Amino acid sequence: MPRLSVYFIRASMIHALLGFTVGGLLLANKGIMFLPAVWSLLPLHIEFAFIGWMVQLSMGVAFWILPRLSHGSPRGNEKFIWAAFALLNTGIFLVVVQNLFGVNGSAFTGRIMELLALAAFAAGNWKRIKPLEEKSRS
């Protein structure tokens, strides 16, 4: 498995742990109302579970499993993928900062960074996406 896929998958597992922890707090608070302010953490749960865990895990597995290139570096230019990794995690961090501390404009900047991460990931893997070759009929 490529090192970059390992980083994507490890980071997604950290986000899964954070998302499940926040989700567990929300669920426990739903059963026994011990702190009504816990419900303000719902956006964090969604961010960690969806973007941090699912999207990042998908990107890591996709980078690992897409067909290798026959010429040059087998996985193409990995600079775009490293940029996608950095942009995605920085974007998640900025969204979390706005939700926890109320820093104005942080979530918008974070969402833009997450979109740029997806664009960088697509640009870095575009050459590796190719259609199935049809077998000739004899």
CA–CA distance, 59 with 5 (Å, rounded to integer)? 8
For residue range 1-42, list pLDDT tens digits in order: 999 999 999 999 999 999 999 999 999 999 999 998 999 999
Asked if residues 85 and 92 have their Cβ atoms less than 8 Å apart, the reply is no
Helical spans, DSSP H, in 32-126: 42-46, 56-65, 79-101, 106-125
Q: What average pLDDT does this structure show over 46-66?
A: 96
Return mean pLDDT, the chain: 92
Instruction: Give me the pLDDT at residue 70, please.
Output: 74
pLDDT reading at 75 higher than 90: no
Least confident of 32-46, 74-88, 102-116, 121-135: 121-135
**DSSP codes joined into one string, 120-131:** HHHHHHGGG--P
Token pair listed for 133:
């070759």
